Structure formats: structure tokens, C-alpha cells
Amino acid sequence: MRKRLSALIFVFTIASLMFIPISVSVAAPAYGNDKFKQLWQYSDKLVDEVPGAGRGFTWGPNSFGILEEDYQEAPSGKRQVQYFDKSRMEISTDGQFVTNGLLTKELVTGQRQDGNAKFSTLQPSTSQVAGDDNSGGGNAIAPTYASFKNVVTFNPGENTATDKTGKIANLGINREGVVKTLDSVPAQITIGSYESTLGHNIPQVFVDFQNLTGRIWLNSKFVIGRVYTDNPIANVFGYPISEAYWAKAVVAGQERDVLIQLFERRVLTYTPDNPLEFRVEMGNIGQHYFQWRYIQGVANNSASCTGDKPPVSPNLSINASLAQPSISGGNQTLCVAANKNGQPVAGAKVTYSVAYKSKRSDFTGNDTGADGKSSTVWDVGGPTKGFEVKVTVKVTYGSETATTTVSWTPQ
């Protein structure tokens, strides 16, 4: 949960011709505006610049890009956002301050918020809330955001708990979302407080974490202050929307017990085996949300993949198609199918280049599944009608590669 990203992923927005990489440098990320910079530096400048700072990042070392996203109440229907490992910053609709997205709510429910009362329906996120990512099935045991859909509270009186202050956190949850009371717990973690707004208990380790004091960057110097601002609920975490649950997760390649609690804006974890200063950490919800919205998510207006099967060949053979061959806005879906000797190829790597006018970008798609198919969705923005958009697809499986090209002309 503390590692930096090792690969580049690109967001493709035709309208602005931006191809935005995930940063992998150790330097501070670039910022969309001074307000974003000031908020990032407040808590993370120390962690980024001082080895052994004794705490983790609040936002993270990696930025996934600076985007203009749909929001009904924003000027011209767009607002500027910036994605970091652990959250998303947003400019308020009046442009005066920075808000911190309710990303957890969207990931669990599958309801992407596009305005104060406007939502688009996607599938709940299947990313693991804690531990390593699940590339190649390496963390399949851990619960996902979707695992919590029947235990979270978004409205008062829904899935609430009674006050258990002073008692031991003894609930468990698995990937299937099954909750049980544990006879034996991995660590004796006491409930520290009860939050009555949505009705959930907070372990003392999380209470202490939210009220952490330390060196912060303020007025061009480091001073001692509250790491998560003077109002951590409003500015960083939000209210708890679940109880704290013990779960199994693979962390740094090893299966471990992790205590997980979902908040409106963040996910907190407690790993007893971690070094003391890193036992409580924030989940990489910014990464997870970005992937859900721009890579995994399929909105209602996105067509499904129905491409032809590749020709039968003793070598790697592929077919690619576009679900919407004349789209001029909204979501486009790239569909890829791969086989060898007439059998579907699972786990093949998909990369593709998108060329539009004089611009070109290489970026990464989803691996092929058990059926040999891969689909990747992205927001095409507002391309100029009549100009061809060409997508060159490359599929790699072991030492074999295959390429093909598809294109569409916005109408």
C-alpha cells in the first residue's frame, strides 16, 4: 500500500488532446492549480522530502492526471479534478476551495456522481480495498468494494450499529461480503468512539490516526499542527460508513490479517505485522477509483463487445473492434479477442496507440480474460467530426505478439 507505481497508464481525452501519465518520479507531482498544490504540500511535502518522516502520504506521490470532469452544477458543466494515489482533489463549483471526493460511496454502489443529484450507473468496483493489487490473482482473497455493498450506510438508519465503545473489534468479512463475529481476533483493538451521524463504531487506532499531529507545511515553513487539518472529517476522511472488519489480504506478497474500515472519502487499514508507524494506512482509493471510472467502468451508454472471433492459427491471432464506430462524445469501448490454435488466450497483455490529427499516445488496456477477450472503456471527450481516430492494437502472450488496427470517424 506504500509502493510507487511501476508502469505508465494514460488517460486519453481527444477534445483537449491530453495524454496524461501516472507519475513515477520521486519528486512531488505537478499540480492543476495553486489550491491543489497548497493542500498537497500541507501534509505530504514532509513525507516526500524527508526520509523517515514517520508517517505515510495523505494524497500520495503519484498523480494520475489533471482532468476536466462532468459535474452539472460546475461552470460550463465541467470541474477541474486531480487524481492522487489516495484520493481525488476537486475544485468547488464556485472555484473558491478544494473538496475531497466521496469516492468510497461511488465505488461501493456503482453510482458515479455527475452533479449534486445526477448519477450514472456503473458496476460496483471489484478492486481489493486492502493489500496488493490483484494482478494475476495475487490478492483474490481480499474483499473488494463490492463486498461491502450490503453493510455500508449512506442514509441514516441504514445498516447502523449499536455503540460498542470500549469493546474489542471482533467482526470479520470475506470477499463474498459475508460478515461474522470472530471467536478469536488477530489483535486486541479497542473501539474508541461511536459516530452517531451514520451510526458506526471507530477503533481507537483509527481515532488516533485521524487526530495525528506532526510537522506540516504552512506559510512556507514546517510547523507543528494537525496532519489532516483542523476538520479531518470534512476535509479528509468523511464519516465512517461501515464497521471495522478483520479480513484476509495479501500484503507485499504475504497473506496477512488486516482491519478495514470504510469512510465516505477514504479507506483506513490496520495491519498488526507492519512497523509501528505504518500499522494504520490509507488505502489507495484514488488509484482504485481512477481505474474503475476510466478503465474498468462501463457506463450505460457504452456498447458491449461483439467483435468477430480471430482466425484459427497455430500462432497468436487477434481481432479488434470498436463498439461505437461513429461516436462523437461519451464512452468508446475497444474490444479485443485473442486465440491460439482456435482456443482463447487468457492473460495476454493488451496495449494500444491512439492517433488523432497530429497527436499519438501509447497506453495500456485490460488483459484478456478466460474467454480470451478484453474490453477497455474511455471517455473520448468531443473529437472534431470528420477526422479519423486510429487505434493500433498490440497483444503480447509470452514471446508472441500480434497487431491490428481499427479506426472510427466521428459523425
Decide if pLDDT at 46 tops 70.
yes
Query: Looking at residues 12-26, what average pLDDT do you find?
Result: 35
Q: What is the pLDDT of residues 68-115, one digit of tens each?
A: 888 999 988 999 999 999 999 999 988 899 999 899 999 999 889 999
pLDDT at position 306 is 55
pLDDT at position 383 is 62
Strands (E) across 304-358 are located at 317-322, 331-340, 343-344, 349-356
What does pLDDT average to over the chain?
85
Domain extents in the chain: 10-296, 317-408
Domain 317-408: homologous superfamily in CATH: Immunoglobulins (2.60.40.10)
At 118, the amino acid letter reads K
Decide if pLDDT at 253 tops 70.
yes
Higher pLDDT among residues 126 and 201, named by residue = 201
Q: In 3D, which of 352, 296, 289, 354 has the Cα closest to residue 12?
A: 354
Q: What is the DSSP string of 352-368?
A: EEEEETTEEEEEE-PPP
148 phi and psi, to 5 degrees? -95, 5
Decide if pLDDT at 361 tops 50.
yes
Which residues, other chains included, contact 364 with Cβ-Cβ below 8 Å and sequence gap of 6+?
7, 8, 9, 10, 350, 351
Please report, to the nearest 10 degrees, the dihedral formed by the alpha carbons of residues 366, 293, 177, 151 taken in order: 180
Return the DSSP state at 312: P
Decide if pLDDT at 22 tops 80.
no
CA–CA dist 188, 21 (Å, integer): 42
Per-residue pLDDT band for 12 (boundaries 50, 70, 90) equals very low
297: cell is: 467502468
Q: What is the pLDDT of residues 276-322, one digit of tens each?
A: 999 999 999 999 998 888 776 543 333 455 556 787 778 899 988 88
Which sign does the torsion angle of CA 290, 152, 168, 194 carry?
positive
32 phi and psi, to 5 degrees? -75, -30
Any bridge partners for residue 258, and if so which?
Answer: 247
pLDDT at position 279 is 96
Decide if pLDDT at 13 tops 60.
no
Higher pLDDT among residues 304 and 263, named by residue = 263
Check if the beta carbon of residue 87 is closer than 8 Å to that of residue 312: no
CA–CA dist 354, 405 (Å, integer): 10
How many other C-beta atoms are found inside a 10 Å radius of the C-beta of residue 155? 8
SS3 state at 269: strand
pTM of the model: 0.70
Q: What is the DSSP string of 244-261?
A: -EEEEEEETTEEEEEEEE
